[in-house]
Amino acid sequence: MSRRSSIGRFTAQLFALLAIFVAWEWSVWLFEISHDKLPPLSVVLSTMWFDRAPLAAAVGTTLLEAVLGLMAGTATGVVSGIAFSRSRLLERMFLPYFVASQAIPIIAFGAIIIMWFGNGIASKVIIALYLSFFPVAVNTLRGIRSVGEGEIGLLRSFGASPTAILFKLQLPAALPSIMTAVRLGASLALVGAIVGEWFGASQGLGVVLLMAMFDYRIPQLWAGILLTGLTGVSLYAAIVFLHKRIAWWQVEA
Amino acid sequence: MTPKICVKNLSKHFTAGVSTVQTLDNVNLRVNDGEFVTLVGPSGCGKSTLFNIIVGLLPPDEGLLLIDGEQQPHDHLLGQVAFMPQRDMLLPWRTVLDNAILAAEIDGVARATARQRAMDSLDRFGLGGFESHYPSQLSGGMRQRVALMRTFMFDREIMLLDEPFGALDALTRALMQRWLLEVWEGEKRTVLFITHDIDEAIYLGDRVLVMSARPGHIKLDKEVALARPRAPDIITRPEFVELKRELLATIEDESLKAFAAMNRSVSDKEAGGR
Ligand SMILES: Nc1ncnc2c1ncn2[C@@H]1O[C@H](COP(=O)(O)OP(=O)(O)OP(=O)(O)O)[C@@H](O)[C@H]1O
Ligand SMILES: [Mg+2]
């Protein structure tokens, strides 16, 4: 039943997307919109096809940066969440700075990161990590804290050490909320990778967008936008799939 | 004979804000090796608290706990007693099989060995064919059996079972009681069993302990002189009925006290609110 309804929903979404594309194509012709403002979809698609090799490489680069950054951010977030759950002192010392760090926009120090880590992939991974670790840290802590006194007592009655309690009870119990944060982190990591590329890079979607903007190549710009959207949606869908696989017993919306 | 479990002059209070609740007051009890003792008492009299103290999850204010005659510092029994809490506390991400081996796994038994052992006893717990189901796919009765199996698979001489059949309907409950006796008679572990149901307490127990209203202590300690194995229709026998009458009188007394205390504290609060 749920399978059928999810297929139904997918079809509906696909139709909506097609409708938007058709409306896009027609309205450009119908209202004679200047192609500089909005080129017809067909033009954008043919540009995309024409530039397929460099565009694919750009998607590959940005996706790699975002995924590596997300993985690093998740690892950082989970480890710091565990550390905070172990020690109130650590939490009191560092959590406020974690929160404060989120108030500093990446725009403010992106240039520094490029200077430190070069304009290769490393600097983008760092920026994606910076953007994605925080929700993971907070949700790891929240997930671990949400485990009931009774469940912990049960494991203690079996003679479980704090480490066994962490790995057999608290972390698995936190997995659904960790995965919810990773979903959020996935979008942030992609933004991080693209913003990182704006500060300095030779390849990637950020570069495609920036060059198209500077050279006033409007179809290329739209091709970049479409591909960025597609990359973001695919990354998100992959994380949702993973979430449903590894934390299926409790999938938060 | 040294009793397996001996509790002496045990007291415990809880503080919540400014108010103090004396939960246990001078509890004394003994359970002999291989004995099945049931514990009944009004709701809130401190039965679960008593278990938590014996298991080592809570320190007592006062009193001694002796196992085989040896005094135990309060958390020394962690890992030494097979404890089944009032809620089943199955882990939703583990299958029936993996929930059943949780205690054994933490005890250091290799997963494969524990799983094999669990597979072999699934049928005995009425869970045959359900090994790869998840708790969310089970009925209340089956969940309880998984929790019981987890407790039994934790190989300890002492078992503390806190209302293991509390959530079951009467029919399932009767079946589970019969089944528990069968399993227990095969192993003869020392069992302390909390229940609200007097029939259950008599049917299962070698002895029935009745706890008073809060602050809880042991009000009555009654031998159940009914031969084992006990047939289900034993509950209609005159000896059974006679015993039940006596126990009921005491328990009703205590329940009324507990109820009156509850009403009093409610009306105190209301009076205070005016
Ligand atoms: N951790 C705690 N903090 C404060 N008060 C507690 C705590 N644990 C138990 N109590 C109080 O101690 C009393 C006894 O609780 P307990 O759970 O032991 O009762 P019980 O006999 O098991 O009841 P029931 O039959 O309903 O399970 C209750 O009044 C309860 O509010
Ligand atoms: Mg209780």
Q: What is the pLDDT of residues A163-172, one digit of tens each?
A: 999 999 999 9
The half-sphere exposure of A97 on its side-chain side, counting CA atoms within 13 A, is 7
- Choose among B194, B101, B84, B152: nearest CA to A157: B84
| The pair of three-digit structure tokens given for residue A10, joined into one six-digit string | 């997918």
Helix, strand, coil percentages (3-state) for chain A, rounded to 5, are 85, 0, 15
Query: Which residue's C-alpha comes closest to atom 26 of ligand 1?
Result: B43
User: Which SS3 state, helix, strand or coil, does residue A88 take?
Assistant: helix
Query: Is B21's C-beta closer than 6 angstroms to any atom of ligand 1?
Result: yes
Report how far residue B166's alpha carbon sits from residue B178's, in angstroms, rounded to the nearest whole number: 15
Q: From the list A150, A155, A250, which residue is nearest B106 (CB)?
A: A155
- Which pLDDT band holds residue A137 (cuts at 50, 70, 90)? very high
- Choose among B28, B24, B31, B29: nearest CA to B9: B28
- Choose among B56, B80, B71: nearest CA to B2: B71
- Partners of B107 on chain A (C-beta within 8 Å) are 158-159
* Angle of CA points B33, B89, B146, to nearest 5°: 65
Mean pLDDT score, A147-151:
94
Best mutation site among B20, B22, B48, B160 for ligand 1 pocket (most ligand atoms within 8 Å of CB): B48
Length of chain A: 253
* Atom number, ligand 1, closest to the C-alpha of residue B211: 21
Q: From the list A151, A156, A247, which residue is nearest B78 (CB)?
A: A156
DSSP string, B224-252: ----SSPPGGGGGSHHHHHHHHHHHHHHH
Query: Which residue's C-alpha comes closest to atom 6 of ligand 1?
Result: B14
Query: Is B11's C-beta closer than 6 angstroms to any atom of ligand 1?
Result: no
Length of chain B: 274
Res. B267: pLDDT tops 80: no
Report how far residue A83's alpha carbon sits from residue A173's, in angstroms, rounded to the nearest whole number: 16
Report how far residue A13's alpha carbon sits from residue B270's, in angstroms, rounded to the nearest whole number: 57
Do A172 and B57 count as a contact with CB atoms less than 8 A apart?
no
Mean pLDDT score, B89-99:
96
- Choose among A188, A175, A78: nearest CA to A128: A188
Q: What residue of B is the nearest CA neighbor of A174?
A: B93
Residues near ion ligand 2 (CB < 5 Å) are B 48, 86
pLDDT tens by residue, A31-51: 988 888 889 999 999 999 999
Q: From the list A156, A175, A249, which residue is nearest B136 (CB)?
A: A249
ipTM over 0.95: no
Res. B272: pLDDT tops 80: no
Report how far residue A68's alpha carbon sits from residue B49's, in angstroms, rounded to the nearest whole number: 50
DSSP B212: P
- Partners of B51 on chain A (C-beta within 8 Å) are none
Query: Which residue's C-alpha comes closest to atom 1 of ligand 1?
Result: B14
CB A99 within 8 A of CB A137: no
| b (16+ CB within 10 A) / e for A3-26 | eeeeeeeeeeeeeeeeeeeeebbe
Could you tell me which residues of chain B have a Cβ less than 8 Å from any Cβ in chain A?
52, 55-57, 78-81, 83, 85, 87, 89, 91-93, 102-103, 105-107, 134, 136, 154
* Atom number, ligand 1, closest to the C-alpha of residue B196: 25
Q: What are phi and psi of B223, to 5 degrees?
A: -70, 140
- Choose among B51, B80, B75, B76: nearest CA to B156: B80
Torsion (CA) A200, A204, A207, A209 in degrees, nearest 10: -140
Distance (angstroms) between ligand 2 centre and the Cα of B46 equals: 7
Q: Is the dihedral of CA A179, A181, A187, A188 positive or negative?
A: negative
* CATH architecture for the domain at B32-59+73-81+157-273: 3-Layer(aba) Sandwich (3.40)
- Which pLDDT band holds residue B274 (cuts at 50, 70, 90)? very low
- Which pLDDT band holds residue A5 (cuts at 50, 70, 90)? low
Mean pLDDT score, A117-128:
93
Q: What residue of A is the nearest CA neighbor of B106?
A: A160
Portions of chain B given CATH number 3.40.50.300: 32-59+73-81+157-273
Res. B141: pLDDT tops 90: no
